[in-house]
Amino acid sequence: MTSTQREVAAGRRIARRVERDMTLADEPLQERVRAIGARIAAVSDRKELQYRFAVIEEESVNAFSLPGGYIFVNTGLVEKAGSDDELAGVIAHEVAHVAARHAVKRFEGAMGLQIAQLAALATGDSQVARGVGMAATAAQLAYSRQDELDADRLAVKYAREAGFDPKAILTFLAKLQEVHRKHAQYLPRGIVRPQYALTHPYVPERLRAAKEALYGVADYFDYLNTEH
């Protein structure tokens, strides 16, 4: 439904807003991330895109990708990464989102869900409409979680093919797990979960996916620590 041209145009518009509203990091850091990103982009499954990489001054440990190949990395994440290999793993993960067109698929999926909700509302049955709405929300969350796992698996492939150590993805995910443990959110009935887990997989799930991509099998303890 969405052409590459439209995808790039949409990403460019959002990227311009990000660069307008955020402060870009110093040029040496930009060059480091661009150099790593260029190696990852060269082995991606969508070489027709002109990937663009930028670092923004933000202390949170995060990175994100936009449609069309726009990748942003926070300075907090760069500082947390102990090596170029770990940083390459993160960048490979974001490039994987773009290569798999995850953002575009979510947009197109949301359009389909909106049509289903409108059809349910047209029936005049409030319970049906409410049920469709709940199902739509659950589907969007599940899709996002699967996207993250798929991106981790692709990241292993891209990091390896670009000449980086793909095992660094595991060491960085372990660091990410510690970061998220410090930002727990209390849910009903006294359950404590990391806030990001509401829309993204638990880090143990991501570790399992990455290990399966690396070694063909995960550890026994990875399965014990993963929700089923």
pLDDT per residue, tens digit, the chain (228 aa), is 678 998 999 889 999 999 999 999 999 999 999 999 999 999 999 999 999 999 999 998 989 998 899 999 999 999 999 899 999 999 999 999 999 998 787 766 554 444 334 444 444 555 544 444 444 444 444 447 888 899 999 999 999 999 999 999 999 999 988 887 766 544 444 444 444 444 455 788 899 999 999 998 655 444 444 544
- Is residue 133 assigned to a domain? yes
Answer yes or no: is 67 within a domain: yes
Q: Which two tokens stand for residue 27?
A: 């040029």
In a domain, 212, yes or no: no
For residue 83, what are the domain limits?
1-183
Is residue 202 assigned to a domain? Answer: no
DSSP result, 28-76:
HHHHHHHHHHHHHHTTSS-TTS--EEEEE---SS-EEEETTTEEEEEHH
> Does 143 fall in a domain?
yes
Is 206 among the domain residues? no
Rounded to a whole number of angstroms, the distance between the first and last alpha carbons of the chain is: 33
Domain assignment present for residue 224? The answer is no
Smallest Cα–Cα separation from 80: which of 62, 93, 65, 97? 62
Q: In this structure, is residue 210 part of a structural domain?
A: no
How many domains does the chain fold into? 1
Buried b (16+ CB within 10 A) or exposed e, 180-199: beeeeeeeeeeeeebebbee
pTM: 0.75
